[in-house]
Amino acid sequence: MENIVFPQGFLWGAATAAFQVEGATDVDGRTDSIWDEFCRQPGKVVGGDCGEPAADHYRRFEQDVAMMADLGLKAYRFSIAWPRVRPDGGKVNQAGLDFYQRLIDSLLAHDIAPWPTLYHWDLPQKLEETGGWANRDTAFRFADYAAATVEALGDRVETWTTMNEPWCSAFLGYAGGIHAPGRTEPAAAVAAVHHLLLAHGLAADTIRAAQPDAKVGITLNMYPIIPVDPGNPADLDVARRLDGLQQRIFLDPLLRGEYPADIVADLEPFGFSEHVHDGDLEVISAPMDMLGVNYYTEHYVSSTPNGESGPSPWVGVQHASFPARDAPITDMGWEVRPDGLTAVLMRVHQDYPRLPLYITENGAAFRDDFSGTGAIDDVDRTGFIASHLRAAHAAIEAGVDLRGYFCWSLLDNFEWAEGYAKRFGIVHVDYDTQIRTPKMSARWYSRVARDNALVAVS
């Protein structure tokens, strides 16, 4: 494989999320999030796992930061735990803020840029008990949390992400019941969509008021939606609906100041429009400085029923199935489709107002191969990242303003409803001893970051 050089100044980093890595779930004033409660519900998380101890990042962050520096990474995308900073959604907890101050200070001391995300799915459980994201007031409580966080940390942070993957929060959490809080209420899910976006806009305004020079954005998970039979009107309609729910219901209000009319009509039976108040879209569509794109796979969709019943995250879609194609799959069962990354980057570039893009998550779960020497030769994961970096570079060559890449994930961690059964990390974590072991993918990615080039896998 010939070397491919990335633009000068391209940002190389790795990403984690608070509930997935921190552990210390009842330490220094932190209270329950919706994920703590979800983990207690039998059958919701594989193995009955929970966020304790995760990767014990709360206590071991200095070691992890030093390891990132050794790997040559220049940015760390992490999330801040709302239940640490404002436990139960209430008063500010200085001990929680102090942890993030120590983390950021350590990153800066190692010449690593902190890229905090304010919300990566850990809503305080007390706010869920008053309606969660289905309650409009939660958006304003989020703005209060953002204000306290930026006041404490903003002097050391240049780039803020408000939300991570609001699609998952709304549709997996409130319609499909697959993620916390585990509700299966389509009307609550569509309300959550709007309130999450409103929270983003309110928080963005709050950040800019406190820190005018800050860069502010949001991260969306994006996937091409491909109809099985483009000549079948039913398949085309299902693809349209899924694309609207996955992509356009977020991109359009953020970047065009309006919701897509066809999806608004689709969601009218669930009361979507009643949640959109005068002035909301102006708040949501305030100019952003960057957009984060999380990419893992494509969706290949048919209108043929799949024979399954029960709650679905695809609100208003009666029949949808996802036939398998002839492609490699990850340990999550997701098809490896690097060309889809080029496609989603090109789509944002061509269809929406131009702004800098960053790949804020991309990676894969595979079963790690332990050799007799103790090395972890994760050839599949290394190849996955390499193929997707090639796809990202293709987008750059086509004119996309792509400025950085964060691999998911720095560490093996708590993988939400999959518990500890799936490993995405480029660094192996032994959950019994908390020993960290960089995998082949970490050693290779370190070379990529240092050379600013896609180097041959060896």
pLDDT per residue as tens digits for the range 76-119: 999 999 999 999 999 999 999 999 999 999 999 999 999 999 99
**Phi/psi at 174 (5° precision):** -115, -15
What is the C-alpha separation between 362 and 296, in angstroms, rounded? 6
The confidence score (pLDDT) of residue 369 equals 76
Residue 418's pLDDT band, with cuts at 50, 70 and 90, is very high
The confidence score (pLDDT) of residue 370 equals 72
Sketch out the chain's domains with CATH numbers: 14-451 (3.20.20.80)
**Phi/psi at 120 (5° precision):** -125, 55
Residue 147's pLDDT band, with cuts at 50, 70 and 90, is very high
Residue 371's pLDDT band, with cuts at 50, 70 and 90, is low
Q: Is 167 annotated as a binding residue?
A: no
Let me know: does 98 contact 37? Beta carbons within 8 Å: no
The confidence score (pLDDT) of residue 75 equals 98
Of the candidates 22, 128, 165, 298, the residue annotated as catalytic is 165
Q: Is 174 annotated as a binding residue?
A: no
Residue 318's pLDDT band, with cuts at 50, 70 and 90, is confident
What is the C-alpha separation between 250 and 226, in angstroms, rounded? 19
- Residue listed under structure tokens 């950040």: 207
Distances (CA, A) of 270 to 252, 280, 311, 355, 439: 20, 19, 15, 33, 47
Of the candidates 22, 298, 335, 361, the residue annotated as catalytic is 361
pLDDT beyond 80 at 419 = yes
pLDDT per residue as tens digits for the range 156-176: 999 999 999 999 999 999 999
The confidence score (pLDDT) of residue 2 equals 63
Q: Is 20 annotated as a binding residue?
A: yes
Burial class (CB in 10 A: 0-12, 13-18, 19+), 231: exposed
pLDDT beyond 70 at 137 = yes
Which pair of tokens denotes residue 176?
């499909």
Q: What is the mean pLDDT of the chain?
A: 96
What is the C-alpha separation between 9 and 124, in angstroms, rounded? 37
Buried residues in 300-322 as b, exposed as e (16+ CB within 10 A): bbbbbeeeeeebbbbbbbeebee
The confidence score (pLDDT) of residue 305 equals 84
Q: What is the mean pLDDT of residues 224-252?
A: 97
The percent of residues above 70 in pLDDT, for the chain, comes to: 98
DSSP string covering 132-198: GGGSTHHHHHHHHHHHHHHHHHGGG-SEEEEEE-HHIIIIIHHTS-SSTT----HHHHHHHHHHHHH
- Comparing 111 with 455, which gets the higher pLDDT? 111
Residue 19's pLDDT band, with cuts at 50, 70 and 90, is very high
Which pair of tokens denotes residue 70?
């050794």
2 is catalytic: no
What is the C-alpha separation between 85 and 29, in angstroms, rounded? 9
Residue 1's pLDDT band, with cuts at 50, 70 and 90, is low
195 residue type, one letter: H
The confidence score (pLDDT) of residue 457 equals 76
pLDDT beyond 90 at 45 = yes
The confidence score (pLDDT) of residue 456 equals 79
What is the C-alpha separation between 130 and 135, in angstroms, rounded? 7
The confidence score (pLDDT) of residue 306 equals 73
The confidence score (pLDDT) of residue 60 equals 98
Distances (CA, A) of 373 to 17, 370, 377, 427, 434: 31, 8, 10, 16, 19
What is the C-alpha separation between 82 and 96, in angstroms, rounded? 9
The confidence score (pLDDT) of residue 458 equals 67
Q: Where are the alpha helices (DSSP H) in 40-136?
A: 57-71, 82-85, 94-109, 125-128
The confidence score (pLDDT) of residue 224 equals 97
What is the C-alpha separation between 303 and 207, in angstroms, rounded? 43
Which pair of tokens denotes residue 125?
């459980």
Q: Is 408 annotated as a binding residue?
A: yes
pLDDT per residue as tens digits for the range 376-416: 999 999 999 999 999 999 999 999 999 999 999 999 999 99
- Comparing 455 with 207, which gets the higher pLDDT? 207
pLDDT beyond 70 at 216 = yes
268 is catalytic: no
The percent of residues above 90 in pLDDT, for the chain, comes to: 95
Looking at residue 48, the DSSP 8-state letter turns out to be G
Q: What is the mean pLDDT of residues 32-49?
A: 97
Q: Is 405 annotated as a binding residue?
A: no
Q: Is 211 annotated as a binding residue?
A: no
